[in-house]
Amino acid sequence: MRIVGDPKLSIRTVALLPGSTPIDASLKALPDADVILAGEVREWETPEYVRDTIDMGGKKALVLVGRIVSEGPRHAALRAVDEDARPRGDLHMAAVNRSLLETHSMSTLTASEVVDRMKANHGIPWSERSKRDTFKFGGPDTVVKGIATAMFCSYQLLERAVAAGCNMIIPHEDTYWNDADAIPLVSGDPGYQKKVDFMREHDIVIYRMHDNVHAMGKADFTYIGLARALGITQYETSTLHHFLLPETTLGDLAATFQKRLGDKALRIVGDPKAKMSRLQLGVAMQRPTSTTLA
């Protein structure tokens, strides 16, 4: 079970959202509930929306119990969790890491000139067809005081960037809690307006860098960063994102990764005693077309 929010938060109203919950359902449910109790969500949407709401002063929370559990007969399993999900001392935050902030102060440049440098030094031809890799707030003529790079463009990240003297944010994921950064979907939420007001007040410009990162193959720095964090870079093979590790068990490997990442919870599927040595690394959401089992 995963929790986003204060474990000591007093709960009176619960929004039950079994199965896989899209961001529009979360946007509709959270204003009238203290906590969303759901099966699964997209990591870059609902959790960031709830965290932003909390960082803006909202007394809200998110509880994820897993899709299979939530979709029991007539959702009985999820309702049972709801009955038991009263404030208790044994609840803990499962997600400990927030947006990574790296800052770089620089001489006077416009946002457009920064993006031009990114494209020129990307290493492979830059695709202009991406709908993700565009300006999400502010404009190309904004004068850049400093640059902050991050995975998520959360409200907390914005505050930290401003405190560090940065007004250009280059996030990997979305700004408005949905992959398309569709403003009509979120414009009615008070958190959206507060976020926009803060960005406007501090002359912030946001340029997302996503698709062109994942087009880099072995140079994709999301994979490189994860491999470094897991401590497995020395075991990489010539196959893309494939690693040949010293033989171990699935359980021992998971425990090692959990310790290295500092996670309080780690989910595995398979026999913890199974012997393994071959690892195919994935980031974000993996689909059958992007995962190889052999």
DSSP string, 70-107: HTSGGGHHHHHHHHH-S--TT---S-------EEEEEE
Residue span(s) of the chain under CATH 3.40.1390.30 come to: 102-214
Beta-ladder partners of 143: 110
| pLDDT score for 236 | 94
Mean of pLDDT over the chain: 86
Strand partners, 276: 248
The two tokens of residue 88 are 């208790």
Query: Is the pLDDT at 215 greater than 70, yes or no?
Result: yes
Q: How many CA atoms lie within 13 A of 283 on its CB side?
A: 21
Strands, DSSP E only, in the chain? 2-4, 14-21, 35-41, 61-64, 102-110, 135-137, 143-150, 168-171, 205-207, 242-249, 275-280
Q: How far is CA 127 from CA 117, 215, 290, in A?
A: 14, 9, 21
Q: 33-71, pLDDT tens digit by residue?
A: 999 999 899 988 999 999 999 999 999 999 998 876 665
Cα gap 143→141, rounded to integer Å: 6
Question: What's the predicted TM-score (pTM) here?
Answer: 0.73
Q: Does domain 102-214 sit in CATH 3.40.1390.30?
A: yes
